[in-house]
Amino acid sequence: MKKAPILKGYTLFYLLFLYGPILLLPIFAFNDSKVVAFPLKGLTLNWFAEMAADQNLRTAAKNSLIIAFSVSSISTILGIFAARASVRYNFPGKAPIMGMIMLPLVLPEMIVAMALLVVLLSLGIQLSLFTVIVGQVLICTPFAVAILTSAFQSLDRSLEEASLDLGETAVSTFRLIVLPLVMPGIMASFLICFTISFDEFIIANFLGSGKPILSVYIFGQFRFPAKVPSMLALGTVLVLFSIILLGFAEYMRRRGIAKAGGKDSGGLL
């Protein structure tokens, strides 16, 4: 096979461009200097301590966790209904309905956020954590549907029929057969929606009405050069947190497919 040095170089450059900046986060988070620049000055944990002591940051983190937990729960439950319906049942208008559920995946988030803001304000609804949750559910549900559809699809229909045939009801069949077999998909959906919600910025900023939410808070802190290193420390923690969550989600998804005896048709990772 012929070597292609240009392609090799391109690939390397591409990967460096993608991940280089992220690698800088931990480097400067441990750097003993207020200025984010080379050369490095020495090792310190001060920025992590400062981050942990920031009361506003804690409130923002708490709010973000509340939002992320609510969004991932609601999106996953909605996703279960939609995925089950699209895999198992035929009904008039199924294709356009499923298409519209998946549309926010490609719709510019800015437009969704603006449209929601206009509607909420004209309805006189106070902006709050709740309105952020509503907006983010809209964004996360398509991801949940995509993951859960693949989980339900890899479930052989005759398994449910076999359970009915052996005397179980539709409800006990769902509990004994369907739920255990799609549980890894449910977990994966929950975790991915959690991650998406946690670092979502546009809707949090538009619909959050200045409430401290982590992504918005971090952006705000960058105006103050002195705060930047502690934000980099926070970023380092979040990167680790995201990698662990997404890795776990993908592991659950693959395990689910293997368990149901299906074929892997490609996932998010």
Partner 1 sequence: MTTTDDRPTMIEFKDVHKYYGDYHALRGINGTIKAGEFFSLLGPSGCGKTTLLRTIAGFEDISSGVIMIDGKDMASVAANTRPTNMVFQSYAIFPHMSVEENVGFGLRKDPRSKDEKAAAVAEALGMVGLKGFGKRAAHALSGGQRQRVALARALILKPKVLLLDEPLSALDKKMREHMQVELIKLQRQVGITFILVTHDQEEALVMSDRIAVMFDGEIAQLADPETLYRRPATKKVADFIGTMNFIPATILSEAGDKVEIEAKGLGRVALDIAQAPTPAGEDPVVGLRPETLTLLYDDQKAPERETEGVIDEVIYFGDMTYYDVYLGGTDVEVRLSMRNVPGRPVLDVGTKVRVAWSPSALVLFR
Using CB under 8 A as the binding rule, whether residue 153 contacts partner 1 is answered as no
Residue 182 beta carbon to partner 1: minimum distance, rounded to whole angstroms: 11
Using CB under 8 A as the binding rule, whether residue 169 contacts partner 1 is answered as yes
Please name the residue that has the structure tokens 């705000």: 220
DSSP of 50-92: HHHH-HHHHHHHHHHHHHHHHHHHHHHHHHHHHHHHHHH---T
DSSP code at position 126: P
| CB closer to partner 1 out of 66 and 259 | 259
Binding mask of the shown chain, residues 181 to 210, with x at each position contacting partner 1 by CB under 8 A: x-----------------------------
Q: Which residues pair with 43 in a beta bridge?
A: 31
Using CB under 8 A as the binding rule, whether residue 11 contacts partner 1 is answered as no
Burial readout 76-104 (b: 16 or more C-beta within 10 A, e: otherwise): bbbbbebbbbbbeeeeeeeeeebeebbeb
- Candidate residues 9, 180, 225, 247; the one interacting with partner 1 per rule CB under 8 A: 180
Residue 258 beta carbon to partner 1: minimum distance, rounded to whole angstroms: 8
d(C-alpha 214, C-alpha 129), whole Å? 12
DSSP of 214-254: HHHHHHHHTTSGGGHHHHHHHHHHHHHHHHHHHHHHHHHHH
Q: State phi, psi for 262 to the nearest 5 degrees.
A: -95, 180
Using CB under 8 A as the binding rule, whether residue 171 contacts partner 1 is answered as no
Using CB under 8 A as the binding rule, whether residue 151 contacts partner 1 is answered as no
Residue 124 beta carbon to partner 1: minimum distance, rounded to whole angstroms: 48
Using CB under 8 A as the binding rule, whether residue 161 contacts partner 1 is answered as yes
- Candidate residues 4, 15, 23, 162; the one interacting with partner 1 per rule CB under 8 A: 162
Contact in structure between 182 and 166 (CB atoms under 8 Å)? no
Which stretch, 40-48, 62-70, 167-175, 240-248, contacts partner 1 (CB under 8 A)? 167-175
Residue 185, CB-side half-sphere exposure with 13 Å CA sphere: 31
Using CB under 8 A as the binding rule, whether residue 97 contacts partner 1 is answered as no
Number of residues that bind partner 1 (CB under 8 A): 18
Using CB under 8 A as the binding rule, whether residue 94 contacts partner 1 is answered as no
Residue 168 beta carbon to partner 1: minimum distance, rounded to whole angstroms: 6
DSSP code at position 103: G
Residue 166 beta carbon to partner 1: minimum distance, rounded to whole angstroms: 4
d(C-alpha 5, C-alpha 102), whole Å? 40
Which stretch, 49-57, 130-138, 175-183, 197-205, contacts partner 1 (CB under 8 A)? 175-183
Using CB under 8 A as the binding rule, whether residue 42 contacts partner 1 is answered as no
Report the interface residues with partner 1, using CB under 8 A. Answer: 156, 158-159, 161-169, 177, 180-181, 259-261
